[in-house]
């Protein structure tokens, strides 16, 4: 029984990682960078906030790796 509880807690932690990084990656960060119908403004936003853009990529990678661990 203890093994099942441990596995369930690990799965819950991984789900939490997926949810938090997913919200950050799909909800919060795109609104800071993307400008509809204006590629130049989008590029300018990315170059002005390069570190935040790197965090955007990192959270995407972490989210998808955590999701794959749930399979």
Read off the pLDDT of residues 10-65 as tens digits, 9 standing for 90 and up.
Answer: 999 999 999 999 999 998 888 888 899 999 999 999 999 999 999 999 999 999 99
Residues 59 and 20: beta-carbon distance below 8 Å = no
Where residue 37 falls (left for φ over 0; alpha for ψ -120 to 50; beta otherwise) is left
Residue 43 has what pLDDT?
94
Tokens 């800071």 correspond to 32
Residue 29 has what pLDDT?
86
């Amino acid at each position: 029984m203890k093994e099942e509880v441990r596995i369930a807690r690990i799965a819950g932690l991984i789900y939490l990682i997926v949810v938090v990084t997913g919200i950050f990656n799909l909800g919060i960060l795109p609104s800071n960078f993307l400008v509809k119908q204006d590629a130049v403004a989008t590029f300018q936003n990315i170059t002005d906030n390069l570190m935040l853009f790197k965090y955007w990529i990192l959270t995407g990678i972490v989210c998808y790796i955590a999701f794959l661990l749930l399979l």
